Amino acid sequence: MELKGLRTVIYPANDLDAARAWWSGVLGQDPYFVEPFYVGFEVAGYELGLVPDASFEEGAHVYWGVDDVQAAVQEAVDAGAEVREQPTDVGGGIIVAMVANPDGALVGFIYNPSFKG
């Protein structure tokens, strides 16, 4: 698998509106995408996302860019990882998945056809 570099960091937000306001202030910009299920900011060509999901007990989720998410997940599993989130199209042709490596660390994979890098 060839990792293309970090692409996205997703932070959990117990109060999505408060998190959106805080990040807007810190970044000095409004998000480009706002829905009840996701708030997205473009930061220096990368994605900073907020999700209203308190189940992110592990903290932020980080996604590495790959050309083929399914193949990346299979390679990780073959090397001893456990699937935490099956490859899923989250809209716009963006595919994400999450595995836990043998140490339990979460490793996300993302294919985003719009990523310019």
Per-residue pLDDT at 14: 85
The type of residue at 17 is D
Per-residue pLDDT at 77: 95
Per-residue pLDDT at 33: 93
Per-residue pLDDT at 55: 66
Separation of alpha carbons 80 and 73, rounded Å:
11
pLDDT per residue rounded down to tens, the chain (117 residues): 788 888 888 888 888 999 999 999 989 999 999 999 999 999 988 899 998 875 666 678 889 999 999 999 999 999 999 999 999 999 889 999 999 988 888 899 999 888 776
Coil, helix or strand for 33? strand
Phi-psi group of 92: left, alpha or beta (phi > 0 → left; psi -120 to 50 → alpha; rest → beta): left
Separation of alpha carbons 20 and 36, rounded Å:
11
pTM score, whole prediction: 0.81
In 3D space, the residue among 100, 62, 58 whose CA is nearest the CA of residue 79 turns out to be 100
Q: Which domains are delineated in the chain? A: 6-111 (3.10.180.10)
In the chain, DSSP assigns E strands to 6-12, 33-35, 38-43, 46-51, 61-65, 82-89, 95-100, 106-111
- Per the structure block, which two tokens stand in for 50? 């907020």
Per-residue pLDDT at 20: 94
